[in-house]
Amino acid sequence: MSEGVLEYTRKNLIRRRRIARLIIFGFTVAVLVSAHGTGFRIRDLYRGIPNIIQFLTEDLLPPRFSVWRRFLGPTMETIAMSYAGTFLSVVFAAPLGFLAARNVSPSPVVMQVARAIAVFMRTIPPIVWALLLVSIVGIGPFAGTIALGLSGAGMLIKSYADSIEDIDAGQIEAVRATGAGTFAVMMKGVVPQFSPSFVSWSLYRFDLNIRSAAVVGLVGAGGLGFSLSTAVRLFRYQEAAVAILWILGLILAIEFVTAKLRGHLI
Amino acid sequence: MSDLKIVAQDLYGRSPMRRLMPLWWALGLTALFVVSILGMNLNIARIIEGGDRLVVMLGQMFPPDFSILGRIIGPAIETLYVAILGTFLGVVFSIVIGVLAAHNITPHVTVEIALKGFSAFTRAVPALIWALLFIVAVGLGPLPGILALAVNSIGMLGKVFAESIEEIDKGQIEAVAATGATPLQIISKAIIPSVTPALVSWSLFRLDINIRYSAVLGVVGAGGIGIELVRSTRMLAFDETLTITLLIFVMVWAVEYVNNKIRAFIR
């Protein structure tokens, strides 16, 4: 190795270390400024603990299990919202995913537009979509379904496009070399390679939607979240505890089922 | 030969059941969708009316009212603060939990199981529900939001930190241990250096998630820009709603952008 290269590596290392220090310094300042700005003190942590314990032992626990049946309907509603939301986002995102993938998109302009739509839909949190939709279509699971559909589509367009970009170009070339047109190239060259990640991402989105569905209900968009926020607003914390256990159980159950399905399908 | 023919011929070579498999799936999943929608007891009239409301709402949204920026910049900054502090506390506690829960260095297997169970629980309960509970427990203001994000972050980070410690090459720990190092020295000299990249990368990813949650904490009453958002929709001041939504968009996007830059640098 020549002197020059060594010198370059050394300078580069020093430069990297300097940037790393700058980043650490930046974060330390950010944490301190945030603590100052919100009036947060470390003692809030241990002063808060008795309050939290009191709340847990006196208000929240024991859960009033006798009301468990009341959450059966909302649980079904949460599952329905998650599934219908996932279905809508898959149907919407599948074509846009193709348009947003660099290697199969008809034109760079189309690709950029599809990507921009995706960024917009997924950067706005689902609960904000839900809040807007509740003002439009009224309180209930339909608003939640559309909200999940929109934010899910944003994520799926990006994930689908990224997986399509990762596929082997050789297979597309091979199909094209047989004289196949665009449609046949898609069906025989792209789709078979893309379908495992398509299934995988869609299932993952369903999993995420169960979590989001439990939360969008807090703004009135139906399901378990709505039951939970109603219980909390009425100060019925022991019923709220049952709702939380339902949510927890549902999330874990769906996680288990989607993991099994993924293993089975792929 | 036309495209359709190629595809059709290929399908024809298979048994009827297999040939039509994608069709069965599509039909089944669509039927499930219809059942889900029908099961919701929808108020059809209200939804159809929604079309008109959407038009009115969009009309009111434009142009967005930027004159409120001065008033909402404070809550927006508070949202950032809450996300940063929640992430920071989450990371600090997760490092402790990760070290104690990693299978290869845990002091005892019961500690490992207890801490992994705890992380699974804090992870599975969504952040906004934690916020709802902490508001009741510690009152309004930024504190319940910070605690909610910290607790929810512990669930995710505790798990991934423990997993990255479990992936460490055994030889490195043994080499340091062979020099007669104390457990604390082993952690600081063998474990921390080899998990730092993963730790930083996951923490940044979590900050990304937390800014999104932080922006909506106000929906349950826990401060920040979310409160302004809810207030504007309740007052039907949709020109303000659009401004606030755009501000949330910019904040989330900016944090994501800075994060990606830092993560690219680490790699």
What's the rounded mean pLDDT across residues A256-266? 81
pLDDT, position A153: 92
CB B247 within 8 A of CB B72: yes
Chain B contact for A199 (CB, 8 A cutoff): no
Distance from CA of A143 to the nearest CA of B (A): 9
CB A154 within 8 A of CB A120: yes
What's the rounded mean pLDDT across residues B89-94? 91
SS3 A102: coil
Q: Compute the CA torsion angle B131, B135, B139, B145 (nearest 10 deg).
A: 10
Note whether B97 and B46 are same-domain residues: no
pLDDT, position A223: 79
* CB contact set of B113 (below 8 Å; sequence gap of 6+): none
The domain total for chain B is: 2
Transcribe B204-252 into DSSP letters: HHHHHHHHHHHHHGGGGT--SHHHHHHHHHHTT-HHHHHHHHHHHHHHH
What's the rounded mean pLDDT across residues A200-214? 86
CA dist B144 and B226 (Å) reads: 14
Could you report the per-residue pLDDT of B8-34, keeping only the tens digit for each?
Answer: 656 555 666 666 777 888 888 888 888
What's the rounded mean pLDDT across residues A186-204? 83
Q: Compute the CA torsion angle A199, A205, A211, A212 (nearest 10 deg).
A: -150
Token duo for residue A63? 């859960």
Could you report the per-residue pLDDT of B40-61, keeping only the tens digit for each?
Answer: 777 777 777 777 778 888 887 7
Query: Within 13 Å of residue B143, how many CA atoms lie on the same side as its CB?
Result: 20
Q: Is the predicted ipTM greater than 0.90, yes or no?
A: no
Note whether B170 and B190 are same-domain residues: yes
Q: Structural domain boundaries of chain A?
A: 3-60, 65-265
Chain B residue with minimum CA distance to A183? B3
Could you report the per-residue pLDDT of A216-236, keeping only the tens digit for each?
Answer: 888 777 778 888 888 877 877
CB B88 within 8 A of CB B203: no
What's the rounded mean pLDDT across residues B108-127? 84
pLDDT, position B5: 63
Note whether B78 and B131 are same-domain residues: yes
CB A218 within 8 A of CB B128: yes
pLDDT, position B267: 67
CB A133 within 8 A of CB A146: yes
Of all residues in chain B, the percent with pLDDT exceeding 90 is 7
Judge: A215–B147 Cβ closer than 8 Å, yes or no. no
Q: Compute the CA torsion angle B111, B117, B119, B125 (nearest 10 deg).
A: -160
What's the rounded mean pLDDT across residues B176-189? 82
> What homologous superfamily does CATH list for A65-265?
MetI-like (1.10.3720.10)
Q: Does the pLDDT value for residue B3 go beyond 70?
A: no
What's the rounded mean pLDDT across residues A35-58? 75
Tell me which of A14-18, A241-245, B4-8 is least confident: B4-8
| pLDDT-based confidence at residue B2 (cuts at 50, 70, 90) | low
Asked which of B11, B27, B61 is the last residue of a domain, the reply is: B61
CA dist B146 and B164 (Å) reads: 26
Note whether B46 and B97 are same-domain residues: no
Interface of A with B in 24-53 (CB under 8 A): 30-31, 33-35, 37-40, 44-45, 48, 51-52
CB-closest option in B6, B84, B126 to A30: B84
Chain A interface test: which of B27, B119, B128 (most A C-beta within 10 Å): B128
Token duo for residue A85? 């939301």
CA dist B98 and B168 (Å) reads: 13
Interface of B with A in 181-220 (CB under 8 A): 212-213, 215-216, 219-220
Note whether B15 and B142 are same-domain residues: no
**DSSP alpha helix (H) spans, B39-68:** 44-61
Interface of A with B in 219-258 (CB under 8 A): 219, 222, 225, 228-229, 232, 237, 244, 247-248, 251-252
Measuring CA to CA, which residue among B59, B73, B128 is closest to residue B250? B73
CA dist A218 and B127 (Å) reads: 12
What's the rounded mean pLDDT across residues B69-76? 85
Note whether B30 and B101 are same-domain residues: no
Q: Does the pLDDT value for residue A87 go beyond 90?
A: yes
Cis bond before residue B75 (omega within 30° of 0): no
Token duo for residue B13? 């070579």
Domain of B57, in residue numbers: 3-61
CB B149 within 8 A of CB B83: yes
CB A252 within 8 A of CB A244: no
Q: Does the pLDDT value for residue B7 go beyond 80?
A: no
Interface of B with A in 11-70 (CB under 8 A): 29-30, 32-33, 35-37, 39-43, 46-47, 50, 53-54, 57
CB-closest option in B46, B134, B212 to A137: B46
Token duo for residue A178? 């047989």
CB-closest option in A16, A135, A181 to B57: A135
pLDDT, position B16: 63
Tokens 């290869």, located at residue:
B104
Q: Compute the CA torsion angle B11, B12, B14, B20 (nearest 10 deg).
A: 60
> What letter represents residue A148's amino acid?
L
Q: Does the pLDDT value for residue A90 go beyond 90?
A: yes
Q: Kindly tell me the burial class for residue B263, based on how many C-beta atoms sit within 10 Å of its own C-beta (0-12, 13-18, 19 or more).
A: middle
Judge: A136–B80 Cβ closer than 8 Å, yes or no. no
What's the rounded mean pLDDT across residues A27-47? 79
Interface of A with B in 66-125 (CB under 8 A): 76-77, 79-81, 83-84, 87-88, 119-120, 123-125
CB A1 within 8 A of CB A10: no
- Select, from the ranges A191-195, A258-262, B218-222, B247-251, the one with the highest average predicted confidence (pLDDT): B247-251
> What letter represents residue B29's amino acid?
L
Could you tell me how far CA A76 lies from the centroid of its own chain?
21
Judge: A31–B39 Cβ closer than 8 Å, yes or no. no
CA dist B217 and B151 (Å) reads: 14
Note whether B104 and B45 are same-domain residues: no
Token duo for residue B24? 């069965």
CA dist A138 and A132 (Å) reads: 10
Q: Does the pLDDT value for residue B158 go beyond 60?
A: yes
Note whether B172 and B93 are same-domain residues: yes
pLDDT, position B215: 87
Please report, for the domain that includes residue B197, its CATH number: 1.10.3720.10
Q: What are the respective helix, strand and coil percentages of chain A, to the nearest 5? A: 85, 0, 15
pLDDT, position A45: 73
Could you report the per-residue pLDDT of B234-263, keeping only the tens digit for each?
Answer: 888 888 888 898 888 888 888 888 888 888
CA dist A166 and A33 (Å) reads: 42
> What letter represents residue B106's amino acid?
T
Judge: B47–A142 Cβ closer than 8 Å, yes or no. yes
Q: Does the pLDDT value for residue B173 go beyond 70?
A: yes
Q: Does the pLDDT value for residue B1 go beyond 60?
A: no
* Distances in whole angstroms, Cα of residue A139 to Cα of each of A29, A45, B55, B250: 43, 37, 18, 28
Asked which of B36, B61, B86 is the last residue of a domain, the reply is: B61
Could you report the per-residue pLDDT of B191-228, keeping only the tens digit for each?
Answer: 877 888 888 888 888 998 899 889 888 888 777 888 88
Tell me which of A172-181, B92-101, B253-262 is least confident: A172-181
DSSP label at residue B140: S
CB B175 within 8 A of CB B190: yes
Q: Compute the CA torsion angle B148, B153, B159, B163 (nearest 10 deg).
A: -170
